[in-house]
Structure 1
Amino acid sequence: MAERKKEQKMTFTILSGDPTKGDGGFGIGSISLDNMTPLIIDPERDDVYIDMDALHAKSKIEKKVRFQPDKEHAGPNPNLYWIVWLTLQNSGSGPYYSGAAACEVLVSREERRIKLGYKSLPEHVNNMDKSLKGKFILSQMDRKSLGLLSHYLRDYDKGYYERSSVELKKQLLFRE
């Protein structure tokens, strides 16, 4: 994972801006994903990385996969991935992790042009919303994946982690 960090080209997104430009017209009430960064966790390869294409369901792990909301669709012994919807905010003392919610993704190991997989679209949408609202939903993650996430968030920028809420730290330390 240390090698991956050196190669890291993507950074967390913290954009400040009103998507409606304050005009009070079109787009009022829409959700802005400006502060959301999707992390992909691959526990089999001990890898955690940012993939902004996940915001549009086109991440590296989702390409050429036909998803169904049934875990059996992914076949026996599928690859397990987690997409963690990570929200960052910027306070007076600096940026911090303000919300995080994980969603399971299973992809068949079978070699074929279009692979089969499992993901729950409603879960992804709901967890994105909860992350944006400052909630931390990480308890469903397996121990190894949670450990990878914990190390990644701490190592990425110690200040981000230190300024984050006690709730995040509690959920990350719960299984270490």
Structure 2
Amino acid sequence: MTEEQKPGELKVKKNLSLNLIGGKRHRGFGAGAIDLSDIACIIIDNGEAYIDVGALHGKSKIEKGVRFSPDRSLTPDGRQCWVVWVAVERHEEGSFYAGATACEMWIDSQAMRGWKILADHVNKLDYAMKRRVILDELAEQEKEALKKLLMEHNPQWWERSTDELKEGLS
């Protein structure tokens, strides 16, 4: 029991989630089987990285209303965008970015068509949850945008992150 804690009072564990849903834990389909509360969804579009929790369900700002196909030729005028899954973990020193994977997609906002391989997105989400770092496909501008976002979101988490992640974004 801590000094601030009163007798009989339960200690509340703080949620270390990067996922910005107002502190609520994920309770969607399969909740309990897989905990997605410590996964952040980051979109990189036109060299800008931002958090968009809707990407977890394929409903990010840039995906809404877009009809996706696994046939890349159906999106000839699309622009390349990325979903980056980032896992946050805690150890005795504090929280840190533990895994990060990037998934490619192409979006034509005018035609409301897009290309992505759903299986790749699911597999890369799984890899991030398993604390792997797979960011090789990102261009330098995209790596810089992601690095900047992670550093600005929480500098302490960035400092405690693995060398593998830091090198992957260098």
- Give the TM-score category using the shorter length: 0.7 to 0.9
Contact 1:89 1:97 in 2 (8 A): yes
Offset at 1:105?
Answer: 1.4
Higher helix proportion (structure 1 or 2): 1
What is the aligned partner in structure 2 of residue 80 from structure 1?
A: 80
Offset at 1:135?
Answer: 0.1
The correspondence for 1:120, drawn from 117, 120, 127, is: 117
Query: Which runs of no fewer than 5 residues in structure 1 stay unpaired?
Result: 1-10, 20-26
Query: Structure 1 residues 68, 28: closer, same or farther in 2, change over 3 A?
Result: closer
Secondary structure at the aligned position of 2:43 is classed as: strand
Contact 2:19 2:41 in 1 (8 A): no
Q: How many residues align?
A: 150
Are 2:167 and 1:152 aligned? no
CA distance in 2, matches of 1:16, 1:94: 20
CA distance in 1, matches of 2:24, 2:43: 24
* TM-score under structure 2 length normalisation: 0.80
Q: Which amino acid aligns with 1:40?
A: I
CA distance in 2, matches of 1:29, 1:154: 30
CA distance in 1, matches of 2:69, 2:148: 31
CA distance in 1, matches of 2:87, 2:63: 21
For the pair shown, the structure with the greater C-alpha radius of gyration is 2
Offset at 1:61?
Answer: 0.9
Contact 2:100 2:133 in 1 (8 A): yes
Offset at 1:28?
Answer: 9.5
Query: Which runs of no fewer than 5 residues in structure 2 stay unpaired?
Result: 1-16
**Any residues of structure 2 matched to 1:1-176 within 5 Å, and which?**
12-13=18-19, 30-42=33-45, 44=46, 46-76=47-77, 78-109=78-109, 111-112=110-111, 115-173=112-170
Secondary structure at the aligned position of 1:39 is classed as: strand
Secondary structure at the aligned position of 1:40 is classed as: strand
Secondary structure at the aligned position of 2:169 is classed as: helix
Query: Structure 1 residues 16, 54: closer, same or farther in 2, change over 3 A?
Result: closer
What is the aligned partner in structure 2 of residue 8 from structure 1?
A: none
Secondary structure at the aligned position of 1:53 is classed as: helix
- 1:43-84 residue CA offsets vs partner (Å, 9 max, x unmatched): x2x4211111111111111111111112222113x2221110
